[in-house]
Amino acid sequence: DSDQPEYQIPDILSDLSAVPFPVRTMRELLMKAARSGDIEQLRNFVGTGDDQTLLSFGGQPDDPVEFLKSLSGDGAGYEILAILEEMLAEDFVHLDAGTPEEIFVWPYFHAVPLERLTPPQRVALYRLVTHGDYEDMLSFGAYNFYRVGITPDGRWRFFVAGD
């Protein structure tokens, strides 16, 4: 529909000092847990009830840490910890500023149409996914690998793949 305004790519951010302290703190805690190699360390950050971190679009798992282990190719959680760390090491976007849905999302690819990635951005994407994954995303129509969301008050909102 030509009446729709063209999608505006949000600013891609790399300066963590520009984000609220609680966001930086949660990002650091998640990265430290990921680097530890002990997936149980994530349990403290998943939240409960309405504050529970979204880990799946198919309903909330009974045990979030066991669910994350089940997603990990090795069964112990090392692969998923590596993915979490990789996501949080990338540049990010600040979405829905000033609304109840305001969130900081890693990596920024989640908010950039794949066909609009610059050559350096494509190289960055290939650090996270294979060419086959990229082709699957093109067929799907969007980035659909893992992404991490943290609210301005430092809640770990989601760690999901798919759409």
Average pLDDT over residues 123-150: 95
What pLDDT sits at residue 2?
58
13-26 pLDDT tens trace: 999 999 999 999 99
Phi, psi of 22 (to 5 degrees): -60, -30
pTM of the full predicted structure?
0.92
With beta carbons less than 8 A apart as the criterion, state whether 43 and 118 touch. no
Please check whether residue 59 is in contact with residue 77, taking contact to mean a CB–CB distance below 8 angstroms.
no
Dihedral of alpha carbons 59, 65, 67, 71, sign: positive
Average pLDDT rounded to a whole number, residues 81-90:
96
Q: For residue range 38-68, list pLDDT tens digits in order.
A: 999 999 999 877 788 999 888 878 899 999 9
CA pair distance 88, 147, nearest whole angstrom: 9
